[in-house]
Amino acid sequence: MAFSGFEGFEKRLEFHFLNDDPNPTINHQLGLRKLEFESIQQILQAVQCTVVSAVGNSYFDAYVLSESSLFVYPTKIIIKTCGTTQLLKSIIPLIYFSNNHLNLTLSSVSYTRGSFIFPNSQPFPHSSFNEEVSYLENTIPSNLCYKKASIMPSKSSSHSWHVFTATQNPHHDHDHIPYELPYTMEICMTELDPVLAGKFFRKPGDEKSGHSAGKEMTELTGINKINKEAFICDFAFDPCGYSMNGMDGGLYSTIHVTPEDGYSYASFECVGSVNNDDDDAIVHVLRKVVQIFRPGTMSVSITTCSEYNNEVWRKVASALEPLGLKCRSCAMDQFPALGSVVFQTFTPLRRKNASK
């Protein structure tokens, strides 16, 4: 029987909803944030994970899960889970609660993930991308009729990007503020530097709480310096592993670490807006993340509007090359409801000669 460790690569679902009420009350304005905690627990029970901690601000609520994270906005939910969770099984209960309890209608859904380290350990409906797409198409409402599924390749056999989107309106912009050009950046890293990964192990006999130990890891590793303005909710697992959610106004960030040697993995995800004064922020984030983990292989997926996609790959590559990471592949594609996705992979410069 093949060896199987903990699966670090996450599955990610993003849902957008519409409120058709022309005169929304305060409760309607809160939208999905009015979901009762018991309903959230039932959704996560279907996925096979639980809430570890939760915080909120005036924009959204953020939950650290036993396997990754959940973010709840008034009309948007993002669920990201790792391990052998069955993320797609969240769709039916989430639609039920949002529709029957909150009168919200699902308008679009997107599903993304990298390439599993241990694909044979994944349960139904995640044993293959074809199975996932089939399950999605049979589960989502029929009004989401504009669909696309694609695997964005790379030169690395361990990193490819799987994307499925469905929407009722391919031009729906999710009520973005007109002067903002929003983006989502998802970073997946494998073969972490062993010394740096070692900082995410708890000491033998450590009796600290997961929250207290998580705070120590956040400060020890410099994660708190990625965005100094963010409020961080962090948690350290026993004997190893780490998760954090960051909140900066209406923007979230999240990190998850599986540090075990042989299948070490870390992810970083954030959202932001693309404008002239944000260029340095993207570069700063990329460089800080690389310095914290020093991965052997790294992929960066950025989802944004099509007007910006031609600049993305150059910006990412120029930020990482001074750190000794070479862009090995770059793929671009367009998706309804998402916009443009740019997917790049990087490995250290020294690997070029080693692979010959």
Three-state SS for 286?
Answer: helix
HEC letters along 128-153 = CHHHHHHHHHHHCCCCCCEEEEEEEC
10 is catalytic: yes
Q: Is the preceding omega at residue 141 within 30 degrees of 0, hence cis?
A: no
101 is catalytic: no
Residue type, position 181, single letter: L
How many residues can be counted in the chain? Answer: 356
Half-sphere exposure of 151 (CA within 13 A, CB side): 14
Catalytic residue among 68, 69, 108, 340: 68
Cβ atoms of 259 and 240 within 8 Å: the answer is yes
Q: Return the DSSP state at 201.
A: B
Enter the tokens of residue 246: 């960051």
Which stretches within 26-177 are classed as H helix?
Answer: 26-30, 37-47, 91-100, 129-139
Among all chains, which residue has been given the structure tokens 């915080």? 55
243 is catalytic: yes
Catalytic residue among 243, 299, 301, 340: 243
Three-state SS for 279?
Answer: helix
Q: Could you give the CA distance from residue 28 to residue 219 in angstroms, rounded to a whole number?
A: 39
Among all chains, which residue has been given the structure tokens 């960030």? 253
User: For the chain, what percentages of helix, strand and coil (3-state, to nearest 5) are there?
Assistant: 30, 35, 35
β-bridge partners, 251:
248
110 is catalytic: no
191 is catalytic: no
- Max Cα–Cα distance, the chain, nearest Å: 65
Catalytic residue among 256, 269, 330, 340: 256
**Residue 260 CA from chain centroid, whole number:** 20
Cβ atoms of 45 and 302 within 8 Å: the answer is no
Which stretches within 49-90 are classed as H helix?
Answer: none
Catalytic residue among 16, 49, 82, 191: 82
- Residues acting as catalytic residues: 7, 10, 68, 82, 243, 256
